[in-house]
Structure 1
């Protein structure tokens, strides 16, 4: 008999963001091995009674949308409404689960998804898995209002799954009470299904980029933890003398950084091209027109853009946050997030050595194929579910 899994998600497409993309990928790959019921929270101020809708249905996957339901820790409606929202949501899900034979419950994220998943696990006496993403463990662990709530949720789980070794280290360091219950199951990427493009000339011209100058890529929303200062130094010390471009595939709010006192002139058109897209085919083409990509995060979970870049046979320069993915000198260059000179030096090394770029890029793709493919991720999750479902 097929295993029945409930996946409670903070975000889910069409919502944008790394958690949304990862949740959809996980649900899709698991549905080939088991029945998956997905519940996610739509955004907006709640109107009672809350609405619940079956958004998608196939032979092995059902997607329920709950909402409007404001996600996150900061609730912009009166505090007394939060218990009411949680109560209605949990009661609906309990009624739903009585009609389905659920074997395991998986909270994909610790905030609202973790609360609901923990409640359902207690009521139904089912195994609970909690996936800790990068933002779950960073600043929340140092906020007195959040730390106790976070620990309570983490201790309710049979297993806490970190998306990479960096997040696992933060969990064990900040919450020693759960250190023996932390495991790592990395993300995967579907970008392996695309054949790599090794010649960038046509793609650079297509996106109005100079084919004779370096194009350095970054994929994601450029928030503070992504280390925008390192990219600013890169634009000043590498892109300016080479007439290159930083191709930022994601979001960059120039006004926000300017208001914070940053001199953003190098980020305002001369050396940076910002493209916001939700089309995965566009992301593949944009990555493929880059000579290499940079991910200098000071703190992060598993960056989907990093895996996608490597799957597209592009070398990466990254911080030690991703040292469990990128092998220094083999498929990329690993440096300290705070050593901006080393990041710039790595760019000069790759630009001056086309053969090294090609070799590292091919190694990177094979690294992803062997360790971060959807097949590997599915195998890891199925084995974990079955281990606890049998108990």
Structure 2
């Protein structure tokens, strides 16, 4: 019988997002000897409802700015909970590493899943110095894309023996091709309209404003293109104002949804217009669902989408290029179908959820040994 390994995941909150989705998948598919707990520096969130097993969690309600007391509260939590591993994620969870420096155990793993709008290129000197300084207390730094791996190695200068790349994975049984005409009709969308879909957190780094602009320009030139956005986040009010302006076919903002697999089957095209990306879970889901993708040539996007084979890559912040890429798919159903088929094949072969979960299980077992 294998001994239990207790893992405490430290992150900001547990609302809708790709990082949070990955944690849910790891917990739900872990063997019984891995016991997961969650520590939210701010608060939990709706993703707690997606957990399929009992999980203890802590909400620390971090104060705005630098909350020094939080570091000591985390240290006490590490001691009292008697966990074997602490797994922190992104800059928002970095307080967990600082707290671990005040105690000899547990072992620490840190993951980088992407960057925020405050440092989209990962060049913030203060942050990178902190990452490098804390490397002595961290067993492994995990990058979810080769781009992030190269950044941790070259820019942050983390020793390569501490680096590991574990790409995100997707459930290819849940996310599969199909055509949900009933959902399209429920939105009041005509059969001859072309749906451009976007799914994800409404965050400045996702540049939904550029997508809105591109779709509006296509409508003004006579194309029956409808924009559907699913997600929630800090940019929601701003996006609602943008969508309230004049459109030939008014965009639809769905908010956070639990039926995202069905949403993809109602779309004709998926767009990811980010300024920066780690490895997008929604891009993986869309491609697994047989959708071609138009996305910016940043971060892990270029590791998933080969231009002209699985979708079209564009330069970030180029609304005209985005509009032209969407137009190509509207005018060529054959290209849309071919690129969608290629996208699905790539994800099934190389980015399955089983591969990702197996990699994390092996990591946890070796780090706790």
TM-score (norm 2): 0.83
| Runs of 5+ unmatched residues, structure 1 | 45-54
Distance 1:219 1:56, change over 3 A: closer
> What is the rounded CA distance, in whole Å, between the counterparts of 1:296 and 1:28 in structure 2?
30
* Greater relative contact order structure (CA < 8 Å, 6+ sep): 2
Please name the residue that 2:119 is paired with. 139
- Give the secondary structure class of the aligned counterpart of 1:247: strand
> What is the rounded CA distance, in whole Å, between the counterparts of 2:351 and 2:101 in structure 1?
29
Structure 1 residues 287-306: aligned runs within 5 Å: 287-306=264-283
Encode CA deviations 1:242-285: one digit per residue, 9 max, x unaligned: 132111011374653699xx89725x794411001331xx2122
Encode CA deviations 1:122-180: one digit per residue, 9 max, x unaligned: 73455432111213696285556645434433453222111223333433343124456
Q: Does the 8 Å CA contact 1:7/1:108 hold for their aligned counterparts?
A: no
Encode CA deviations 1:96-120: one digit per residue, 9 max, x unaligned: 21xx6x3x442233434x4335644
- Give the secondary structure class of the aligned counterpart of 2:267: coil
- Give the secondary structure class of the aligned counterpart of 1:275: strand
Aligned partner (choices 145, 150, 153) of residue 164 of structure 1: 145
Aligned partner (choices 192, 217, 220) of residue 212 of structure 1: 192
Q: Does the 8 Å CA contact 1:12/1:21 hold for their aligned counterparts?
A: no
Encode CA deviations 1:275-299: one digit per residue, 9 max, x unaligned: 01331xx212222111011112111
| Runs of 5+ unmatched residues, structure 2 | 44-48
Distance 1:34 1:371, change over 3 A: farther
What RMSD, in angstroms, separates the aligned Cα atoms of the two structures? 3.4
Please name the residue that 1:330 is paired with. 309
Please name the residue that 1:181 is paired with. 162
> What is the rounded CA distance, in whole Å, between the counterparts of 1:12 and 1:245 in structure 2?
32
Distance 1:76 1:227, change over 3 A: closer
Q: Does the 8 Å CA contact 1:335/1:342 hold for their aligned counterparts?
A: yes
Distance 1:263 1:155, change over 3 A: farther
Please name the residue that 1:51 is paired with. none
> What is the rounded CA distance, in whole Å, between the counterparts of 2:9 and 2:342 in structure 1?
36
* 2:350 is aligned with 1:368: no
> What is the rounded CA distance, in whole Å, between the counterparts of 2:156 and 2:105 in structure 1?
24
Please name the residue that 2:35 is paired with. 36
Q: Does the 8 Å CA contact 1:293/1:317 hold for their aligned counterparts?
A: yes
Going by fraction, where is helix more abundant, 1 or 2? 1
> What is the rounded CA distance, in whole Å, between the counterparts of 1:3 and 1:355 in structure 2?
52
Q: Does the 8 Å CA contact 1:258/1:264 hold for their aligned counterparts?
A: yes
Q: Which moved more, 1:373-382 or 1:169-178?
A: 169-178
Aligned partner (choices 228, 243, 246) of residue 227 of structure 2: 246
Structure 1 residues 302-321: aligned runs within 5 Å: 302-321=279-298
Please name the residue that 1:276 is paired with. 255
Q: Does the 8 Å CA contact 1:128/1:156 hold for their aligned counterparts?
A: yes
Aligned partner (choices 52, 63, 80) of residue 55 of structure 2: 63
Distance 1:278 1:36, change over 3 A: farther
